[in-house]
Homo-oligomer: A and B are copies of this chain.
Amino acid sequence: MSFTRKDLLGLEDLKASEIHSILDLAESFKEINLRPIKKVPTLRGKTIINLFYEPSTRTKMSFDIAAKRLSADTYSISTKTSSMVKGETLLDTVKNLEAMNPDAIVIRHSASGAPHWLASRLDLSIINAGDGMHEHPTQALLDMLTIRQHKGKLDGLTVAIIGDISHSRVARSNIWGLSKMGANVIVCGPPTMIPKDIDRMPTEVTYNVEEVISYADVLMILRLQKERQKDVLLPSLREYSRLYGITPERLTKAKQDVLIMHPGPINRGVEISPEVADGPYSVILEQVNNGVAVRMAILYLTVGSVGKQE
């Protein structure tokens, strides 16, 4: 097994061989989720804490289900129902949790880099479930697993990521991960939504959505994160939808076997038409399904592997 890290912090740091290992393991875990008895004793007696400083349903539940299907015990903290409002620092909170001997903390935090900062100060495993506008590595891993299942490979594919790239940690993790795996990544969105440091990242840029649709193997459509945009970047949602929304009309130019992906939750009629979200090219629900398997793999690799416990 080539992945021997304590933490999963982001895909920028990983080698292609590590990503391969994770995807292979996730694929083998998929079968457990289809059994009548969806549970294996792999992580019995392990303690996993979900520490979410931003609201989440699907990612938190996906990690929770993944952990319990491996027989770990799980605990969830959301900031709104915790004593963390009392002004304790993040490091104090996490060190207090660490003192209860958990095996991993799955953390979502609005500060980019928070998981890295914690991981270097703690002995337990830190798993990044989304940090600010930085990375969301398990989302990109499940995206890659989904693409690989359909296309048989990642190497040589052209993947277009469409939408608000600036605010998207999903985009960043996919840019790093896909490019390491040999895919050709192109980001596409209105100029105001392309990050200024895009040159630093292994991706091309286009503003022409019609063109990129015509040759991409995969269209990864980002959620328009209305709640995260502090400035008015576009006159209106309708304008965004008109210029960049993925509609059946636009898709007529796409490849025959194009894949439509979206990290969810979708805004029907904004960045994606209902007909596209529910249409034959859409693998959106497969992405969710693969999320459980990917998170099982990550928990197994960081918490459960024998070598680290001895």
A45 within 8 Å of B by Cβ? yes
Known: A55-B81, A77-B57, A101-B34. A288 touches B96 (CB 8 A): yes
**A280 to chain B: closest CB distance in Å?**
16
Which A residues form the contact surface with B (CB < 8 A)?
33-39, 44-47, 49, 55-58, 61-62, 64-65, 68-69, 73, 75, 77-78, 80-89, 92-93, 95-102, 227, 264-268, 285-286, 288-289, 291-292, 309-310
Determine if A84 and B57 form an interchain contact, defined as CB atoms under 8 angstroms apart.
Answer: yes
Report yes or no: B73 in contact with A57, Cβ–Cβ below 8 A.
no
A80 to chain B minimum Cβ distance, whole angstroms, is: 7
Task: Considering the complex, give the chain B residue whose CB is closest to the CB of A59.
Answer: B83
Contact check: which of B34, B55, B292 meets A83 at CB < 8 Å? B55
Once the chains are docked, how many angstroms separate the CA of A69 from the CA of B47? Answer: 9
Q: Is B35 a contact of A47 with CB atoms below 8 Å?
A: no
Residues of B within 8 A of A93 (CB): 57, 265
Q: Which of B35, B80, B97, B264 contacts A61 (CB 8 A)?
A: B97
Residues of B within 8 A of A57 (CB): 77, 82-84, 93
Q: Which chain B residues border A38 with CB–CB below 8 Å?
A: 45-47, 101
Q: Are A266 and B100 in contact (CB under 8 A)?
A: no
Contact yes or no, A99 B289, CB < 8 A: yes
